[in-house]
Structure 1
Amino acid sequence: MPTGRFDEYTKLEHLCSSAANYPSNGIRTRLFGHALAAYKSELETRSTDLFQAVQTYPIDYLEAFDGDDFQKWACHSASQLRQHYQINRKEPLSRFICIQAETSISPLDCSKDVFTLLLSFHHVMPRFLDLVFAFGQQAAAVSDLNCTAFHHENFLEAEDTSYSIPRLGRSGRQLQNCYNLWGVEKSDANGEWSFRQMAVYHSFDVESCRSLWINIKANDLMLERITDMATTSGRRNYNTSSSPSSRFAATLVTHMLFFEWCTEGWRSFISSLEKAAHEILMKVENAPIQDVEKQLSLDYEAIMPTSPTTPTQRRPTFPQAGMQSRTSSGFRAPPVRKAFSGSTTLPVIQSQASATSTGHPTVPAPQREVVPVSSKNFTVLEEFSVKSLQRLGGIGSKLQKASLMMQLDAQVLDSVVTHYDALLRDERLSDGLRNGCCSEVSLFREEAASCIRRLGMEQSRIAALEGILRDGRNLLNTILQYKNTEINKIFTVNAQETSSRVEEMTAEMHQSALRMESLTRITGRIAEKTERETSSMHIITLVTLVFLPGTFVATLFGSGLYQWDQNNPEMEFPLWKQKYFNLFAKICFPLMFFVIVVWYCVYWWSKRKENKKGGGDEENLLLGGEKDAATDGHDDSGDN
């Protein structure tokens, strides 16, 4: 252990020159060597994500030297920081160092060289790195809540004065503690709430009453508040006229400044989530179930053909297990089919096969108008979507995270208060410091307890809201399941109706095929009869042609136009009687013309009559073909 005070300052200079090896460069700590090596390794690994490659933003200093007010100073580089620390005067009574970042998930606004030099010069406890590692560039969804902690490392023994450096006003006996807190703030860019963290390191020299604060936070909010606190009248407890107890009490006030920050914003944040959840839950709790039933209900009586003997019954819209329609006689009624149509109506068509299968004439059921079910019927359910369920899940996730943060903050606050209560009972502190700070520590305890109670009340609000969200999610999930079930049912019915229509069309096509087959048979029979009649006509024509010349000649010679002279047997050719022929022509030719005219009139009248009833004859022909086909079918079944 060193014995010369000048040697301690020289060691501090060597310590700062090897700041790149922090915390394995020989700082005063009670940690083992392997722990320091682990911290050094992780610091090197995280350096690219944690620090800027080149110092582009200043580190803000707020310092109050003996007899002076607080002054601001900005550090832009490691060399500038070395020059500032090498000023030949004692350290300020109070020094605030504020390190910021562009966002909570961005690298800190300092380089690794500046950061390690800062920690090495002030002998910052290595456990502070646990809290620093929670910052830096990382995924937006990552939040290392497990790093929330409170650490302290005090050097209050009498032999610790051997590490004193009078040139800097260090006695070697000091209190060290560090912790981090979580809070919620509104973003300046979009006005949305965001979770923010803050890391704090504090050391207090119990003899010279010099204090050091290192605050790491993304924005400059704490810098503004610290400046306002240090320069406000009634808060200047760091000047030389202040007693040691008042300076120690001033550190408690600074702690309370940080404690107050971690309790702010939670009420408004939870209220905003409650409002967002209320907008969804009101729609869910006041869901028009009757309208949903009405929109999804279908007119079964209009869809199904009504039986002349059994009245149809209508079932409720909400499905009930084991509920089935029954007739008044107690027998189970046939299942009722629904009809669904996206843009057109699906009428129920009665198959002709069912009417003809019984062999008895049936009276066709009157056609009823079917009310179509279109996509407009589901507008009442558009507000109940998976997106609403996702929003409720997101709100619940934020509430759980906020509750955990407040619980961790409360534990940190309780640990800090417990630590300072223990210091009042530590005999290694001077009696003047302990006795002079009893009231301040008691007030600090009460104010911290008030912060813890506020956090507990907000946690109670979160617990109640989580229960409401849980019930709302269950109800919304039930509505979504019912919606999907009903839509699936309707699409199933639509598929069944389409299948029925296809089946009916197939039956009609089968009937058409039977009619075509019957018509083909009739045509074949007509062809056979025509062929037989044609053969008969050929025979008649042949016989007529054979006997017609002889008949004509015999008739001509027997008519008296040619006469043989009986007195002249040797006459070679008969005599032609011209007057007989004239008489024949006057009678025969007009008679022939009259017969032809009469025949033409009869032919024209019959042709016209056939044209008028030609369609009816075709239907009769087809019906006759169907009867023949049915007869053939019965004959075939009888043969079988």
Structure 2
Amino acid sequence: MSAHDSPIFPSKSSFESSYPEAFVGLEPSDPTERAYGALRASCDRQAIYPCNLLQRKQLKSTRERYRQYLDGEEKKLFNLDFEEIYFHDLDDGDKDYRTVMIRNSPSVRNHLQKGGGDPKSRFIFLQAETSRAPLNCSRDSFSHIMSYHQVPPTFIDFVSAFGATHYPTDYHMTGFDADDTLGIKDSNLINISTLGRSGREHRIQYLLRSVERDSNDDGSRRWNIRQAAVYHSFDFISGKALWINIKANGLLKERIIEATGDTAILDLGTQDDLQKSFAATLVIHLILLEWCDEDWRTCIRDCESKVRDILVKAQTSQVVQPPAFSATARRALGSQTARHTELSENEKQQTPMPLVWGRKIRSLVKSLSRYKYRVSQDSDLFGTADDDNYVQKRQFENLKNLDTFSFGELQHLHYMTEQLESYRLVMELNHQALRDIAERYQNLPSQRGFPKSLKEDCMEDILSFARRVERIRKNLEIRMTQIGRIFTETSYGQSQKMERIAYKTEKETISMHVITCVTLAFLPAMFAAVEFRQWVEINARTGVNGFGEDKKYVSGTQLENYWSPTTLCEIISTIDPPIAVSVDTIRQMYLRIFSILVFIGKLGNISLFSKPGINDSNLPLGTNHLLPEWRGCLDEFLIQQWQFCPWAFPRLESDERQLPARQILPLRYEAQLTREGWSSPAARIQVVNIDEDYCESIPREAVFKIYEGIDTRQLYSREANVYTRLRRFNEISITKCYGSFEYPETNKRIIVLEYTREGSLLEFFKKTPPDNPNDLELLWKRLLVLLDGLYTLHNPDKHDSRSLSGIHHDIQPANILVFREEGTSAYDVLFKLADFGLAEIVRTNGGEGVKVPIDNEGNRMYSAPEAYSNFKIMSEIRPHLNPVADLWSLGAVYSDFLAWSIGGDECRERYRVKRKDAIAKLSYVTEAGFDACFHDGRKILPAVKDFHTEVLKDKVGGDFISPCISKFILKYMMVEESMRLMAMQAKARAIYMIDKKSGPPLQRSITPEDIYPVRNRMSSYSGERKVPVWEVYEALKTKRNWTNFRRHQSQRSDAGMNLPGMQNARNQINRHGGRDQIMVIDDYESMREHRGNVVQTARVISYSVKVSDKDGMDLYFASDSCNPQKCQNSSDVEAKIRNKAPVIGWCDMKKCLKDVMDRVEANGMKPTGIYIFTDGIWDPAHNPEVDEVIHESIQLLIEKKAKPADLMFQFIQFGRDPQGSKRLKFLDDDCKRMHRGVEYDIVDTKHCDDHVPKIIIGSISKHNDDDD
């Protein structure tokens, strides 16, 4: 079973249903006896194994699939005529093992079900006549053994590596799996005390491969790859151990029998000791694991010897091509009879030669065509004509040596290369399985429920075991290095032999044709693979996989840059037989598959993917995805694919995804965060830096909230589910989530969140409080936005007829994050709710205010009276709470904030102590340890009200808002549940109270101009004061009229419209009827320094023009102009631009505007305003061509008989690059056209520092356009 399978254990009813029908109603009343009876019934139905198992940890359809596999492969896997099963048992109280060989199924049944319970230790050995023959047992015996010991169906995956086959299969497969029942409640365990099974057990299974020596007919040594499958279980209470070993020969059986008979290795007298029994299992594992390393050294040495025997001939002489053959040599050659060299049938069937020949063969092909010219030109290779005798001697020696080299030897060398590659693959897979086994045992002691006695007495045994396994892994790494060195020598030798064969075939015409054809057939994959591998090695980046290992990967952008259309075309054109896949199709749909195939040298196999339509979107592939015709062809593909398939953090389908553990994340881990008061000890917070090639839907810097271990599954699922539901709302007062995923194999789960350097509200409390009423007003306005987040959480889906309702249940300062804004004030921040680990969302039949079941684990200090656990029993049940419990918690946070805002952190601490002292006087609460909560268990503490009164005496002059907030908290938030307001009711009441206290906006003494010094005000602009972007932006953030702050207001938003010229600009835009508004953002590297300014300017412009675009504005990024994004409001525009990372390279503005206009034309050329935010620094290759788009657009207007004002290009320049300014001025001044007396001037250019109304109006007003 997989480690990530949900543990589903049988209930009492399932035991009852396990009885045969004839015994229904006669079941034993004792639970243990019922369990034993259910096991017997399961064994009676062994014919349908694994569908008969009691522990149903897989879906019924999955178990049925395994049963059907056994049905279909029965003749292949099992011997129907011969059985030979060995049981090696140590019974309770005995000191010696007994070995029994059983030859039929009834005897197996009798041996298993004899009285007395399970033996203390049992080994079951299943063998076969050969490694490719059926197992020496019947299907009936096998199923009975598996049923009696309740072996999970996933062991069948490992058994499938055995059975009758004509050739070796599944070399790509080793495996590991483990699980335990340590964390399972006693009531859910299958406790069969009759047999000595407590149900509290650890189970592990694995498949390993190694080489074993054999002999050829001539007595020479031969090496074959062999496999062994192991299943082991250990009972943590009784200490009973079970081993099932499947291996064709008796090698491992003999070793284990020898070990169990040697007290120096296994002291059987200690088997009754739980700790010693557990330690003994580690010894047995080591016997099995050491097998997979022991013969590699001799095997590799034999291979190396054979390779060098062949290479010696290649090293005895070097092909030297003389300037001219002497007359004697020519006569000698002329007297020889030319012999034709042909390929045998076996030679014709050989697979392509190794990739590393690429460059040598490439030069060889060229040399064949020009050899006759080189013969006469190279005059210094052998000396002068005076050395004729020496030359003749060398010529005949070389020709004599060449006669010993044949295609057969060359192919034998190639066969050795393939054999070494299969060895390397086996060792690499074993290396991984060994690591999994060691990690499993190292992690066991940290599991909840692991016996304390084992943890205390066996840690040294576990550590020693891990060290021994690591030594085996290191040995395998050394062997793989040896193979790599032999590969290098082999490749060189093959190249040398190719030179000799080329020289020889110069005199043998038919042979020359053969080798030329073969070489040309193999050429593309050879040199392409060599050069591509070198490029990958140099340019690969480092990421992290699910095992926590640093792994190299190549991004999609890198591949696109490497594989230009020209390069692809050259490579594809050489594939034989030709493939019917276009270059464009490969670049768009198969580029990663193409790259992997080139990397492994099997480019011709791309048709295996293109024909069934398996493209890059299907990667990565698992063994279950392989089609039958792929078997044996793409084993290396499965191994190498990971470095080409990093996780891309997609915008869609990124919630609660399950990833393979080998999937690489394109990022690097930065600092681990520790937050004071943070309430999620089950998770750790890690800052990550994501590869910029994968930042399309996620910022470069983000946070991983990482849950590890089985016990954290529920917390992760709950929080990820809440974030998934809330993401659709784009609520600014909830911490953004960019997705969630898990690695089931390693029990690691991750939620991806936005990162803030400011930390939480707890860190914010360490700052000095504001002494300016304006800053206080700004802070309270931002804090009240948290009520929007609560409203969203409490009402996550109002469009469903059966509405959803949620609750946070853990609101406290540590779970409110602080985000810095762009303003000049140190208190210009946003507050966002975070940490939804205890949140709940349930489906209800009512609306907001219904009861929601929760786990009673929230922060006690800030919890509502109805939510805290005063007695132990209250912490063990799931009470139902009204979501307004969150309103109390937020009110408590507001109360804490009020104390800080007036007296700083010292005042906040005094407040805490005062509450604590008040609680200490309440005897019925003190023992519960509620430190300093805000209530007495029923209602608000009088000390809270007293402190509010006291602290307000110290408020700063002009602070009208603190008394309003204090009254609001005490009257509407921290009150009895029935009196408490819901989220939006509370917000509306707060706004009303503040507005009433402050008076109408025009009567307020504080204005936006008062916030900034006089020196910052702009001079008049054509008789009208110049309004810069920052002033409008601040007006949007600090709207003086709190009524505009309402979330659901009916009137049109008019913040900032009272500034000079703003309302007039909006009216001019509206005067031309409904208009589509398009924002185009130059997001290339040169704009990085202007990013903050672009965000503010785009927010201001989109806010001003949004009223004219009824179906939402379109946002284009120049780097991705084919995929516009719809934005309903200016906040959405701002958020999307903030989250978009700059792209390295040059902006192709011509292509971008062409894509925009294509869509405008497709939509019927409706009146459109296009605002382009750029510095004018564009791709030099297309600089003079941007005006073509303008002229084509004018022509479209003329053809559609539209007015010039129906289309506007407004370029907004950032920075003052001379070339950029010149370019934009050209577009403004020279891209015009007269048609029938009408001037089509649709382009305007303004700087981002210009008067905002003029930027908004653009070329719609000729006066505005000409006023520069």
Determine which of 157, 167, 171 is the counterpart of 2:194.
Answer: 167
2-side partners of 1:12 and 1:490: how far apart? 71
> Which residue identity does 1:449 align to in structure 2?
E
Amino acid at match of 2:483: I
Q: CA deviation at 1:477?
A: 1.4
Per-residue CA distance 1:460-483 (angstroms, 9 max, x = gap) = 000111111111111111211221
Cα distance in structure 2, aligned partners of 1:98 and 1:160? 34
CA distance in 2, matches of 1:248, 1:144: 33
Distance 1:423 1:7 in 2: 30
The answer for the alignment partner of 1:125 in structure 2 is 152
2:143 aligned residue = 116
**8 Å CA contact 1:201, 1:213 repeated in 2:** yes
Separation of aligned partners in 2, 1:241 and 1:420:
20
Give the drift of 1:182.
0.7
Match of 1:44 in 2: 71
Conserved 8 A contact 1:295-1:378: no
| 1:183 matched residue in structure 2 | 210
Cross-structure match for 2:40? 13
Identify which of 30, 48, 55 aligns with 2:57. Answer: 30
Q: Is the 8 A contact 1:177 1:203 kept in 2?
A: yes
**Aligned match of 1:443 in 464, 468, 493?**
464
Q: 2:258 & 2:149 partners in 1: Cα distance? A: 25
Deviation sequence 1:316-350 (CA, Å, 0-9, x none): xx946356589xxxxxxxxxxxxxxxxxxxxxxxx
Aligned to 1:422: 443
d(CA) in 2 for partners of 1:417, 1:237: 23
How far 1:246 moved relative to its partner?
1.1
For 2:556, the equivalent position in structure 1 comes to none
- Show the counterpart of 1:196: 226
- Please say if residues 150 and 416 of structure 1, whose CA atoms lie closer than 8 Å, have aligned partners that are also in contact: yes
Q: Secondary structure at the match of 1:175?
A: strand
The residue number in structure 1 matching 2:1223 is none
| Structure 1 residues 322 and 235: alpha-carbon distance in aligned structure 2, compared to 1, 3 A threshold | closer
What residue in structure 2 maps to residue 457 of structure 1? 478
Query: SS where residue 202 of structure 1 aligns?
Result: strand
Q: Does the residue aligned with 2:180 lie in a helix, a strand or coil?
A: coil
Q: Distance in 2 between matches of 1:393 and 1:438?
A: 49
Alpha-carbon contact 1:27-1:120 (below 8 Å) kept: no
Paired position in structure 2 for 1:633: none
3-state SS of paired residue (2:506): helix
Match of 1:75 in 2: 102
Structure 2 unpaired stretches of 5+:
1-10, 13-29, 333-369, 379-391, 514-1268
Deviation at 1:74, TM superposition (A): 1.2
Query: 1:169: Cα distance to partner?
Result: 0.5
**How far apart in 2 are the matches of 1:137 and 1:296?**
60
Q: Which residue of 2 aligns with 1:208?
A: 238
- Tell me the equivalent position of 2:31: 4
User: Which structure features the higher share of strand residues?
Assistant: 2
Is 2:307 aligned against 1:286? Answer: no
Equivalents in 2 of 1:325, 1:243: separation in Å? 86
Task: Output aligned runs, 1:481-496, within 5 Å.
Answer: 481-488=502-509
Tell which has more relative contact order, 1 or 2 (C-alpha 8 A, sep 6+): 1
How far residue 205 of structure 1 moved from its aligned partner, in angstroms, is: 0.7
Q: Is the partner of 1:213 in helix, strand or coil?
A: strand
SS at match of 1:163: coil
Given residue 37 of structure 1, which amino acid in structure 2 is its aligned partner? E
Q: Is the 8 A contact 2:317 2:398 kept in 1?
A: no
Decide which structure has the larger Cα Rg and report it: 1
Distance 2:191 2:141 in 1: 24
Contact 2:323 2:376 in 1 (8 A): no
Counterpart amino acid of residue 217 in structure 1: K
Quick one: which amino acid aligns to residue 59 of structure 2?
F
Distance 2:56 2:317 in 1: 64
Distance change in 2, residues 1:143/1:300 (3 Å)? closer
In structure 1, the residue matched to 2:289 is 259
Shift in Å, 1:490: 12
2-structure distance, mates of 1:420, 1:399? 32
Q: Which residue of 1 aligns with 2:867?
A: none
Residues 505, 512 of structure 2: 8 Å contact kept: no
| 1:421-446 C-alpha deviation (Å, 9 max, x unpaired) | 11011121110012211000000011
SS in 2 for 1:447: helix
What is residue 522 of structure 1 aligned with on the other side? none
- Per-residue deviation at 1:22? 0.6
Is 1:64–1:239's contact at 8 Å kept on the other side of the alignment? no
Q: List gaps (5 residues or longer) in structure 1.
A: 304-317, 327-370, 493-640
Deviations 1:335-391 (A, max 9, x none): xxxxxxxxxxxxxxxxxxxxxxxxxxxxxxxxxxxx9xxx99954322111111111
2:82 is equivalent to residue 60 of structure 1:
no
Q: Could you tell me whether the CA contact under 8 Å between 2:87 and 2:124 is conserved in 1?
A: yes
CA distance in 2, matches of 1:282, 1:296: 27
Partner of 2:275: 245
Task: Describe the shift of the 1:323–1:27 C-alpha distance in structure 2 as closer, same or farther (beyond 3 A).
Answer: same
Deviation of residue 81 (structure 1)? Answer: 1.2
**2:101 counterpart SS class:** strand
Amino acid at match of 2:507: E
Partner residue, 2:917: none
Structure that is richer in helix per residue: 1
Post-superposition shift, 1:235? 3.0
Distance 1:194 1:293 in 2: 46
Q: Corresponding residue for 1:381?
A: 402
Helix, strand or coil at the partner of 1:187: strand
- TM-score, scaled to structure 1: 0.63
The answer to whether residue 489 in structure 2 is matched with residue 468 in structure 1 is yes
Report the Cα distance in structure 2 between the residues aligned to 1:295 and 1:230, rounded to whole angstroms: 76
Aligned to 1:53, the other structure's residue is in SS state coil
Task: Report the Cα distance in structure 1 between the residues aligned to 2:278 and 2:331, rounded to whole angstroms.
Answer: 88
How much has 1:218 moved relative to structure 2?
0.8
Check whether the contact 2:506–2:512 (CA below 8 A) recurs between aligned residues. Answer: no
Q: 1:294 to 1:22 in 2, by over 3 A?
A: farther
Provide the C-alpha distance between the structure 2 equivalents of 1:214 and 1:474, rounded to a whole number of angstroms: 49
Is 1:409 equivalent to 2:461 in the alignment? no
Partner deviation per Cα, 1:274-316 (whole Å, 9 max, x = no partner) = 00000011110222646x969976548979xxxxxxxxxxxxx
Residue by residue, what CA displacement relative to the aligned partner does 1:67-110 show, whole Å, maximum 9, x if unpaired? Answer: 21111011211111111122110211110011111111110011
RMSD of aligned alpha carbons: 2.9
Change (3 A) 1:388 1:294: farther
- For the residues of structure 1 that align with 2:274 and 2:512, how far apart are their CA atoms? 83
CA distance in 1: counterparts of 2:452 and 2:330, whole angstroms? 97
Q: 1:189 to 1:87 in 2, by over 3 A?
A: farther
How has the CA–CA distance of structure 1 residues 119 and 390 changed in structure 2, closer, same or farther, with 3 Å as cutoff?
A: same
Q: What is the match of residue 321 of structure 1?
A: 373
How far apart are the structure 1 equivalents of 2:241 and 2:499?
60
Determine helix, strand or coil for the equivalent of 2:133.
coil
Q: Is residue 151–residue 177 contact of structure 1 (8 Å, CA) maintained in 2?
A: yes
State whether residues 87 and 123 of structure 2, in contact with CA within 8 Å, keep that contact through their aligned partners in structure 1.
Answer: yes
Q: 1:151 aligns with which of 159, 165, 177?
A: 177
The residue identity in structure 1 corresponding to 2:180 is N
Letter of the structure 1 residue corresponding to residue 466 of structure 2:
R
